[in-house]
Amino acid sequence: MLTRLALPALVAALLAAGPATAQMARTESAKEGGPGKAVPLSKADVQLSFAPVVKRAAPSVVNVYASHVDKRSSARSSAMEEFMRRFFGEPEGGRGPRGERAQKSLGSGVLVDADGLVITNNHVIDNMNEVRIALADRREFEATIVMRDTRTDLAVLKLKDVPKGLVPMPFGDADALEVGDFVMAIGNPFGVGQTVTQGIVSALARTQVGSADYQYFIQTDAAINPGNSGGALVDLRGQLVGINTAIYSQSGGSHGIGFAIPVGMVKAVVDAARDGASIVRRPWLGARIQSVTPDIADSMGLDHPTGVLVASLQAKSPADEAGLKRGDLILTVDGQEVADPEAFGYRFALKGVQGQTRFGILRGTNRQTVTVKLAPAPETRPRDALKVKTRSPFLGATLVNTSPAVAEEMQVDFPADGVAVMAVDENSVAARVGLQKGDLIVAVNGVPMAATKDLDRVTRNSLNAWEVTINRNGEVITSVFGG
């Protein structure tokens, strides 16, 4: 079970090895005058400590206390609520002394700027409206939410009163990580206070984790538990290489399978916040891609499945203008290999919306390079968001007009005209009848839905029955609901 972390001991197991093994472990970086990588050669090496790295990195890691305070009159509380308040205090999520009902969340964050910018996970502050930051020296400050990026599960906060002497953590290079490298996770597990755990990089480019739209994670066996969300994964230089975001667990605790968002994506979100943007703008390709199966790889003369196959293109899109064709196999993005659609999505998203990038492709038996313009998806028509409030199967749903921008944002293929489900409230009528984010409303009672104004007009009527046709991931479904 994959668990997002909403809220334990330091283990350092270094084994000595012989000179032959040590020689094999050394990397090319040593030949270039770099620090190199090698197993320990002596007892003194085994007794080395990670303390200097922790001293550099720990001051940059903060605790994030988020809450959602809903002020209500205590006179409206039921007899049972009043009983619970008076005798048990309702410390977590209960009604406060002035009739305030609060939900609370605990997580971690990383100072990335001397001006008080903090990066954390979006799920730590999801639905929260008040945030406090506790520094490593226990000073606490109120913070504002600068940006929420649900697609990466990242959020940027800013201290309201910025103290002097903040120690931002420098960004490292996640692309330089190798499986087996030592890393440390720093955060606030279970709310016990700042804690450091150590492990290795277990795997790179992990996909199908399910905690964000961009599936490209660093896997580590450093102990990560609830409360570590938003905390730092650091290398042995004390540099940030990832933001801890999820664990695989059947009990809610660490089983040695943790996942971190690579620092490349973190930096893209932070840079957007520094530029004053409210959202992260990402490049639009205008093409639908698919995985390469073993059969497809064999038919194209490949030794193994790799790359992504261009399945279709939109007219006048960057992919179309670059000369990409249906059936092209994209192998690299600016020289970086892409093994599957998740890896491609990650690499392409990091390129921004200005300039151009180069794809290495295989067309037939010929390898070549194409240059793709970097630009955001266009909003070809206003979204005209509609929040249905009348009694109908759409009650509680938010619907918008389709466009390339909406399609890119929701990671779904949409036609030029249509009405898409942008969000569905929990426990709403729309949720109960099964509407989902990303559904395309094709028709209602046989009437085509080309825009939200069409749906608004239909839902103004009180009907005994509703025939709704939707397109969900290419499958057309028609259902009838009572009025």
Element (H, E) at 408: helix 404-410
Length of the chain: 483
Distances (CA, A) of 187 to 70, 112, 127, 152, 251: 28, 15, 22, 19, 20
Of the residues 60, 105, 108, 123, only one is catalytic, namely 123
Q: Beta partners for 234?
A: 184, 240
Judge whether 78 counts as a catalytic residue.
no
Rama region for 446: left / alpha / beta (φ>0; ψ in -120 to 50; rest): left
Q: Whole-angstrom Cα distance, residue 84 to residue 270?
A: 43
| Cβ 422 vs Cβ 446: under 8 Å | no
Q: Which two tokens stand for residue 90?
A: 């309702």
CA distance 403 to 413: 10
Cα separation, 276 vs 269, in Å, equals: 11
68 catalytically annotated? no
| Surface-to-core class of residue 18, CB atoms within 10 Å of its CB (0-12 exposed, 13-18 middle, 19+ buried) | exposed
3-state secondary structure of 67: strand
Name the H helices within 197-340. Answer: 263-274, 294-299, 318-321
Per DSSP, 127 falls in state T
Calculated CA dihedral for residues 248, 249, 250, 253, nearest 10 degrees: -170
Contact 432, 396 (CB under 8 A): no
Find out whether 118 and 109 touch, Cβ atoms under 8 Å: yes
Kindly give the residue spans of alpha helices, DSSP state H, lying in 275-324.
294-299, 318-321
Spatial CA neighbour of 380 closest among 433, 430, 316: 316
258-262 vs 240-248, strand pairing mode? antiparallel
Question: What's the CA gap between 450 and 159, in Å, rounded?
Answer: 45
**Cβ–Cβ under 8 Å, residues 128 and 66:** yes
Q: Looking at 113, 149, 153, 454, which residue is catalytic?
A: 153
229 is catalytic: yes
**Selected catalytic residue, list 108, 229, 249, 403:** 229
Max CA separation in the chain (angstroms): 82
Q: Which residues are catalytic?
A: 123, 153, 229
